[in-house]
Amino acid sequence: MSISDLWRSRCHGGAIAILLVLFLCDNANGAKPSQYLDLPSQFLAPQNAARATVGMRPLVWDSRVARYAEWYANQRRWDCALKHSNGPYGENIFWGSGTDWTPTQAVSDWVSERRWYNYWRNSCAGGQECGHYTQIVWSGTTRVGCARVTCLGDRGVFMTCNYDPPGNYIGERPY
């Protein structure tokens, strides 16, 4: 009986067993467990937690929007520039030096802007950004797709999330 067969019989699910074997083997070589987590979930969970805090329905992962995000992230792979795509969707972008940045960290950075958003004034505190946060919690947005790439020459990690329908319309509250 092979190791895979043994794990399958013990776990009643080959995918879980194989993932665990890959994790155990690769983790011995310094790999991080987050490399094997579902990327959509890493992007979605913290955004939906932020939305739940203000009573918004959860976003759903949209493969069409995710393909757009992946296409655009691949454009930035060469220069890692923090430039928006100016496409048909709302968009949050992130860059971090080094190669260990996770989707959860990028989303946490965007959500942390909540402290600068004043709902009653519908504005950010002077000199601060809060548009990433307001896009995440925008009430009309229902779908999201995101991507993560390591930039050429390990110059960092670029991540983008695209939102459909977009938000952040001047003069409108996010929720």
Boundaries of every domain in the chain: 39-76+90-164
pLDDT at 120 over 90: yes
Per-residue confidence (pLDDT) for residue 3, from 0 to 100: 33
Query: Rounded CA gap, 148 and 170, in Å?
Result: 29
Confidence of residue 12 (pLDDT cuts 50, 70, 90): very low
**What is the overall mean pLDDT for the chain?**
84
Instruction: Report how many helices (DSSP H) and strands (DSSP E) the chain contains, helices first.
Output: 6, 6
Do 75 and 82 form a contact (C-beta atoms < 8 A)? no
Would you identify the CATH topology of the domain 39-76+90-164? Pathogenesis-related Protein p14a (3.40.33)
The C-alpha atoms of residue 89 and residue 81 are separated, in whole angstroms, by 19
Q: pTM above the 0.85 mark?
A: no
